[in-house]
Chain A
């Protein structure tokens, strides 16, 4: 299956000042899921139309990866 590559562009300005809305810890960009990950609480926030959505209710709890996915999710989990 050919996966279209999504270019996730977070401006430098935003990447320097955005943090997780709940834990206030730094966020990490995950290109695979086009989201920002808060490792501190294990939640991912989507980036829609290039706009980060950091409202708590938009956050999704990251599922613990199974063994099959361990290679794919190396970047994200």
Chain B
């Protein structure tokens, strides 16, 4: 996989209104994730890379996180990547798909050599069943971009954290699947004379900082990485998306994706983006977000008017 510096983002603004916008059919999403639990490829290098990067950030932090809540997305990738980072002792694994949680739980016996105590539950990030101020770290690897109410889910995560607790999340950003988005639009317009949403609205890099502060996190941090994955065919790309549990879960979807349009999309994609060796590239932009639950020990800007030195004197 090659890394590239990110370029400017397109104009998509999905989840930031305060009124509840019902973009994602969570029930359908759940069913898809149940089905896809069985397709999960343990060697998915993109997902593993993101999980490793997330956990790597813990090593920079001078703190331990004994009790950690892991929110759904790529649970199994996080579980496999957790070793000594951050002094995690208890890992609570949560996803909205029962099948996925069960899969993780069953895989636990292969990992019992480390000393981490794992617990499992089925739950929804938008209705977090976790007592406030009870966990040291909330970590979410490629899961939150599916929530209808992302600010709400982030607020709930913050409340679950103890003071000075850390929130670490990786979500797909607006540049993700840009090739597929373009190909879909063109094919759809040619075939059906209209465009229906196929690819979910994704947060832009500039929105990530706002999301963190809006949720009340202090010391927010945002990083972006862009990965390009190469596939042998568009079909393989779709299979990968299915395996990641990322296929179309939009509420306003057209009931049936017409076969003609699907074929046309593949053709447009290949003609526009295929590399010389015939492989199909797909962009995955990952936004890493960090935020802390407020605590007196954290640095804060001084109150306005409390300055004791004037710039003139410096």
Contact = CB atoms under 8 A, between A and B. Distances in A.
Interface in B101-151: 101-102, 105, 117, 119-124, 127-132, 134-135
A55 B130 contact: no
A55 to B, nearest CB: 5
B35 interface: no
Query: Chain A binding site: helix, strand, loop or mixed by DSSP?
Result: mixed
Contact of B129 (A13, A21, A48, A49): A21
A58 interface: yes
A38 B83 CA distance: 35
Interface size class of A (residues with CB under 8 A): 20 to 34
A62 interface: no
Contacts of A57: 27
A16 B135 CA distance: 11
Contacts of A19: 129-131
A55 B124 contact: yes
A52 B121 contact: yes
B98 A53 contact: yes
Contacts of A77: none
Interface string A42-77: 000000111111111110000000000000000000
Interface in B180-207: none
Contacts of A16: 131, 134
Contacts of A26: 131
B120 A18 contact: no
A5 interface: no
Interface in B29-57: 30
A21 B121 CA distance: 12
30 contacts: A11-B117, A11-B119, A13-B67, A13-B92, A13-B119, A14-B119, A14-B121, A16-B131, A17-B67, A17-B92, A17-B130, A17-B135, A18-B129, A18-B131, A19-B130, A19-B131, A20-B129, A21-B123, A21-B124, A21-B127, A21-B129, A24-B131, A48-B98, A49-B98, A51-B101, A51-B102, A51-B121, A53-B122, A54-B129, A57-B27
